[in-house]
Amino acid sequence: MKAIILAAGFVTPDPLAKDRPKSLILINNKPIIEHILEKLKQINKIKKIFIITNNKFKPLFDAWINDYNSDKVEVISNGISIEEDILGPVRDLHYIVNLKKLRDDLLVIAGDNLFDFSLDDFTKTTDEIKIGVYDIKNPDLAKNYGVVKLKENKVTNFKENPQNPETTIISTAIYLFPVSVIPLLDEFLETEKEKLGDFVKFLMSKKEIHAHKFQGHWFDIGSFESLERARNIYR
């Protein structure tokens, strides 16, 4: 298994760190990326971890990884220097899969995820597509995410940013893609869509998708408010 952390966005929610990517924002004196890596290091089957960023933030990631010092982690730029040329998360995933000729099960995580739960059970079996979900328990907050409808643990519907969410269960942007999904990346990108939510809906037309409900603290560091909530909890 290989792990891929998607960290190629240009926007940061921290007004005090406008020139830093979200993954390198400090939570309890440690970058978010290191909180994620701590969880990944607990999974023995992960043989390599790729972090994909952009040209603007690549020097910052390079400086960070020199101090972090792990042979298992590699930082790669997608070659994009300005936000207007951004590829989008699925194209970033496609880029790194082709660059590294990956033919492995993939654990894919958005680099602005912050959570305190283990990924062990999520990665225990790799014969099915899985998405990590979380009950945010607030319909107004659910509008900001991909909302998931389930039958037992099978995903029956997935809607990005619905105005009237049917549930409060949302996607955490933590995905397990078996190696059989890799050939479908090319087919999906022919639709000219690039969001992970759209990719999930595309996969639903091809295969069953299962959900894994996470319990504990989870934050999407997409706004200053969520960043402050996370800092208060971790403090």
Spans of all domains in the chain:
2-234
Residue 185 host element (H or E): helix 182-189
Give the chain's mean pLDDT: 92
> How does strand 106-110 pair with strand 169-177?
antiparallel
**Percentage of the chain modeled with pLDDT above 70:** 97
Name every residue whose Cβ is closer than 8 Å to that of residue 188 and which is 6 or more positions away in sequence: 90, 198, 199, 202, 203
The per-residue pLDDT for 74 is: 97
The per-residue pLDDT for 170 is: 95
DSSP 41-96: TT-TT--EEEEEE-TTTHHHHHHHHHHH--TTEEEEE-S--SGGG---HHHHHHHH
Lowest mean pLDDT among 5-14, 93-102, 105-114: 5-14
Does the structure show a pLDDT above 60 at 171?
yes
In the DSSP assignment, the letter for residue 15 is T
pLDDT band at 18 (very low <50, low <70, confident <90, very high): low
Question: For the residues 102-120, what does the mean pLDDT come to?
Answer: 95
Question: For the residues 181-206, what does the mean pLDDT come to?
Answer: 92
- State which amino acid sits at residue 109: I
Lowest mean pLDDT among 46-50, 66-70, 213-217: 66-70
Does the structure show a pLDDT above 60 at 16?
no
Closest CA to 185 of 87, 89, 94: 94
pLDDT band at 235 (very low <50, low <70, confident <90, very high): confident
Crossing angle of helices 89-99 and 182-189, in 10° steps, is 130
Question: For the residues 137-151, what does the mean pLDDT come to?
Answer: 93
pLDDT band at 69 (very low <50, low <70, confident <90, very high): confident
Q: Span 2-234: which CATH code?
A: 3.90.550.10
Phi-psi region of 214 (alpha: psi -120 to 50; beta: other; left: phi over 0): beta
Q: Name the one residue in this structure whose structure tokens are 């597509």.
A: 129
Closest CA to 160 of 114, 184, 193: 193
CA–CA separation, 204 vs 78, rounded Å? 27
Cβ–Cβ under 8 Å, residues 52 and 99 = no
The per-residue pLDDT for 15 is: 59
The whole-model pTM stands at 0.94
**Percentage of the chain modeled with pLDDT above 90:** 74
